[in-house]
């Protein structure tokens, strides 16, 4: 994609000449508070309000003994219902001393002595979702209380938030932005800033239009370190299909890849490792998908009773390594058909991850060509089938056979002369889920995703989008419609992609639009927000 590099480099050189070298250090960006996604435990999906001190001490002891702590699961986080229904006379929050007889600071010390870190839950509104005192109008006091208790991570929920109706806080979104912004300022101003998990987007994910959801997502990465962006994963005692719940949160996460970066992570919610409604294949799929996303790995299960199989997958080194990769690139959908999804991402050092999910109820076989993975056809790739560690050679295509709801992950090493990756895959509307489709006759439309090469696009650094089915054909626009034309070096065949999710034609300045092809660019309109393959340069200001 066209970048601002030509503008930035001379500017930096001028700047460097003006500033004494020693002072340049002051310009170095501060390292993120959370360079890689958090891993740990939270009680909510497994126990909801049925929590107490023993649950947390037992869980920490079990995690120390069974290898989870050593594998990186180092957060012990309390969720809702830890407090009393009223504040103390001085206004401060109080823990429920029947449930936590030694107190929250003691519990924090207990887990930290084993090498864990310690997190807590509150709500930005006037009550938590469970009906306990929310932090509205007590923000600073509550933050200071948490800090004094040794809390290092705050999950800030957003139940019971209402627009103040003043100071520009007219819509619900304004209010969330105000409150989460306030918390951001308070938390980052503390001597030891807390990790800030924001639940604000979850309150917009189910609106008939996703516009407000996208808008909330646009400020969330500025204010915090991770965000619970959508539905709650099914709790242990919940009704309904646990697999459908995993798939729903997976689906929401696929729409948000462009926001993720080191220091900010999309959170599709807990790993429900002992959920009675999931088969082992389904649990392993959730884990493999979350790891491919580089998502938080927060277990909500009764850890002391995890089975050998459950522990084995949670401890899988190869997948944890992918999850914790320093590039924090989220795997994106490259190809989707009626039952199979293929996701791709790159890792630090250049390895390529290919994740294949069988959403369907039957065994499936697929051969996915290396072009779909953004790789070159004439190369031989050494690969590891991550789950079982088998080494395989990949030439021309990756071949998989998957049981119902199972997921396979491949990690490909790129040989020295085959290191180039062209971001490749589907371009899909993240509201309708439909795919940009080119036809032999030069027509371009937005259709259901079928995984055909007429729906695979190479996104070149020049800003060209070339169709996999006809690599000499480029997505073009004359300002009125979309066309597939023989590629040439012309600005009406170049597109830029922004944080807004808009795909904008460089020549006409108009945006890809479901329904009309192209149109004037709006602000995060359902018909104009698209998901592109990972690795595409995203312009901050668009
Ligand atoms: C909301 C959150 C959950 C949990 C509960 C607690 O539903 O999304 O993760 O924190 O509140 O009441």
Q: What is the pLDDT of residues 287-306, one digit of tens each?
A: 999 999 999 999 999 999 99
Closest C-alpha to ligand 1, atom 11 = 129
DSSP state of 32: P
Give, for ligand 1, the residue of 135, 157, 202 to mutate: max count of ligand atoms closer than 8 Å to Cβ. 157
Plot region of 29 (φ>0 → left; ψ -120 to 50 → alpha; else → beta): beta
Averaged pLDDT for residues 111-115: 98
- Which atom of ligand 1 is the closest one to the Cα of 44? 4
- Which atom of ligand 1 is the closest one to the Cα of 79? 10
CA of 464 to the centre of ligand 1 (A): 43
Mean pLDDT of the chain: 94
Q: Does 314 have pLDDT greater than 70?
A: yes
Q: What is the pLDDT of residues 405-435, one digit of tens each?
A: 999 999 999 999 999 999 999 999 999 999 9
- Which atom of ligand 1 is the closest one to the Cα of 48? 6
Instruction: Provide the pLDDT for residue 542.
Output: 76
CA of 507 to the centre of ligand 1 (A): 46
Give, for ligand 1, the residue of 41, 42, 43, 44 to mutate: max count of ligand atoms closer than 8 Å to Cβ. 44
Residues with CB under 6 Å of ligand 1 are 44, 79-80, 121, 128-130, 157, 199, 202, 228, 232
Q: Does 398 have pLDDT greater than 50?
A: yes
CA of 341 to the centre of ligand 1 (A): 29
Closest among 172, 160, 185 to 215, alpha carbons compared: 172
Distance CA 388, CA 238 (A): 32
- The token pair at 309 is 């199989």
Instruction: Provide the pLDDT for residue 65.
Output: 98
Give, for ligand 1, the residue of 48, 80, 299 to mutate: max count of ligand atoms closer than 8 Å to Cβ. 80
CA of 73 to the centre of ligand 1 (A): 21
- Which atom of ligand 1 is the closest one to the Cα of 121? 10
- Which atom of ligand 1 is the closest one to the Cα of 270? 9
- The token pair at 273 is 């490792």
CA of 35 to the centre of ligand 1 (A): 25
Q: Does 2 have pLDDT greater than 50?
A: no
Q: Which run of H or E residues covers position 139?
A: helix 139-148
Q: Does 7 have pLDDT greater than 70?
A: no
CA of 256 to the centre of ligand 1 (A): 21
Averaged pLDDT for residues 381-407: 98
Q: Does 9 have pLDDT greater than 80?
A: no
CA of 156 to the centre of ligand 1 (A): 10
- Which atom of ligand 1 is the closest one to the Cα of 233? 9
Who's near 23: CB < 8 A, 6+ residues apart?
Answer: none
Averaged pLDDT for residues 205-220: 98
Comparing 29-38, 282-291, 354-363, the range with the smallest average pLDDT is 29-38
Averaged pLDDT for residues 215-242: 98
Whole-model pTM: value is: 0.95
Q: Does 519 have pLDDT greater than 50?
A: yes
Closest C-alpha to ligand 1, atom 3 = 232
Instruction: Provide the pLDDT for residue 26.
Output: 53
pLDDT bin (cut points 50, 70, 90) of residue 541 is: confident
Distance CA 115, CA 331 (A): 30
Instruction: Provide the pLDDT for residue 301.
Output: 98
The CB-side HSE value for 244 (13 A sphere, CA atoms) comes to 4
CA of 129 to the centre of ligand 1 (A): 6
Q: How far is residue 532 from each of residues 8, 424, 458, 515, 542, measured CA to CA in Å?
A: 25, 8, 10, 18, 15
CA of 271 to the centre of ligand 1 (A): 14
CA of 323 to the centre of ligand 1 (A): 24
Phi and psi dihedrals of 176, rounded to 5?
A: -60, -45
Strands 503-505 and 495-497, bridge-based pairing: antiparallel
Closest C-alpha to ligand 1, atom 8 = 232
Give, for ligand 1, the residue of 198, 232, 267 to mutate: max count of ligand atoms closer than 8 Å to Cβ. 232
In angstroms and rounded to an integer, the radius of gyration of the C-alpha atoms of the chain is: 24
Who's near 208: CB < 8 A, 6+ residues apart?
Answer: none
- Which atom of ligand 1 is the closest one to the Cα of 45? 9
With contact defined as beta carbons under 8 Å apart, do 180 and 156 qualify?
yes
Q: What is the pLDDT of residues 21-73, one digit of tens each?
A: 334 445 667 889 999 999 999 999 999 999 999 999 999 999 999 999 999 99
Q: Does 467 have pLDDT greater than 90?
A: yes
pLDDT bin (cut points 50, 70, 90) of residue 19 is: very low
Q: Does 90 have pLDDT greater than 80?
A: yes
- Which atom of ligand 1 is the closest one to the Cα of 269? 9
- Which atom of ligand 1 is the closest one to the Cα of 202? 8
CA of 157 to the centre of ligand 1 (A): 7
The CB-side HSE value for 394 (13 A sphere, CA atoms) comes to 30
CA of 270 to the centre of ligand 1 (A): 11
pLDDT bin (cut points 50, 70, 90) of residue 1 is: very low
CA of 12 to the centre of ligand 1 (A): 45
Instruction: Provide the pLDDT for residue 10.
Output: 31
């Amino acid at each position: 994609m066209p970048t601002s590099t030509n503008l930035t480099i001379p500017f930096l050189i001028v700047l460097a000449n003006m500033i004494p070298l020693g002072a340049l250090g002051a310009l170095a960006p501060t390292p993120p508070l959370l360079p890689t996604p958090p891993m740990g435990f939270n009680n909510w999906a497994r126990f909801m309000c049925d929590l107490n001190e023993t649950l947390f001490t037992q869980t920490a002891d079990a995690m120390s003994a069974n290898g989870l702590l050593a594998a990186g699961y180092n957060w012990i986080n309390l969720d809702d219902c830890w407090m009393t229904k009223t504040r103390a006379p001085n206004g401060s929050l109080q823990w429920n001393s029947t449930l936590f007889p030694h107190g929250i600071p003691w519990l924090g010390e207990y887990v930290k002595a084993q090498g864990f870190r310690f997190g807590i839950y509150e709500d930005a509104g006037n009550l938590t979702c469970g009906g306990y005192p929310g932090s509205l109008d007590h923000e600073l006091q509550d933050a200071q209380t948490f800090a004094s208790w040794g809390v290092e991570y705050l999950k800030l929920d957003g139940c019971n938030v209402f627009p103040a109706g003043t100071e520009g806080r007219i819509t619900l979104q304004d209010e969330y932005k105000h409150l989460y912004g306030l918390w951001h300022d308070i938390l980052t101003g503390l001597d030891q800033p807390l990790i800030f998990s924001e639940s604000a987007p979850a309150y917009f994910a189910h609106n008939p239009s996703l516009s407000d959801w996208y808008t909330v997502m646009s400020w969330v990465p500025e204010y915090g370190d991770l965000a619970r962006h959508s539905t709650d994963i099914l709790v242990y005692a919940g009704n309904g299909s646990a697999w459908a719940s995993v798939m729903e949160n997976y689906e929401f996460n696929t729409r948000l890849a462009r926001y993720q970066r080191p220091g900010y992570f999309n959170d599709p919610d807990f790993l429900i490792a002992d959920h009675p409604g999931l088969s082992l294949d389904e649990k392993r799929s959730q884990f493999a998908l979350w790891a491919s996303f580089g998502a938080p790995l927060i277990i909500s299960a009764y850890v002391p009773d995890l089975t050998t199989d459950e522990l084995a997958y949670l401890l899988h080194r190869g997948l944890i390594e992918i999850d914790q990769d320093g590039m924090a690139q989220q795997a994106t959908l490259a190809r989707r058909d009626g039952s199979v999804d293929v996701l791709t991402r790159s890792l630090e050092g250049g390895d390529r991850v290919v994740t294949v999910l069988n959403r369907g109820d039957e065994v499936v076989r697929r051969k996915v060509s290396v072009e779909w993975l953004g790789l070159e056809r004439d190369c031989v790739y050494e690969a590891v089938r991550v789950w079982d560690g088998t080494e395989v050679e990949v030439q021309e295509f990756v071949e998989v056979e998957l049981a119902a709801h199972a997921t396979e992950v491949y990690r490909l090493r790129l040989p020295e002369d085959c290191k180039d990756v062209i971001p490749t895959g589907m371009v899909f509307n993240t509201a309708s889920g439909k795919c940009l489709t080119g036809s032999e006759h030069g027509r371009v439309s937005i259709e259901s995703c079928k995984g055909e090469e007429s729906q695979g696009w190479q996104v070149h650094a020049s800003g060209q989008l070339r169709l996999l089915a006809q690599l000499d054909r480029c997505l073009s626009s004359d300002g009125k419609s979309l066309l597939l034309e023989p590629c040439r070096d012309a600005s009406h065949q170049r597109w830029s992609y922004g944080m807004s999710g808009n795909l904008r034609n460089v020549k006409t300045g108009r945006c890809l639009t479901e329904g009309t092809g192209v149109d004037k660019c709006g602000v995060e309109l359902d018909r104009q927000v698209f998901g592109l393959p990972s690795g595409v340069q995203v312009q901050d200001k668009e």
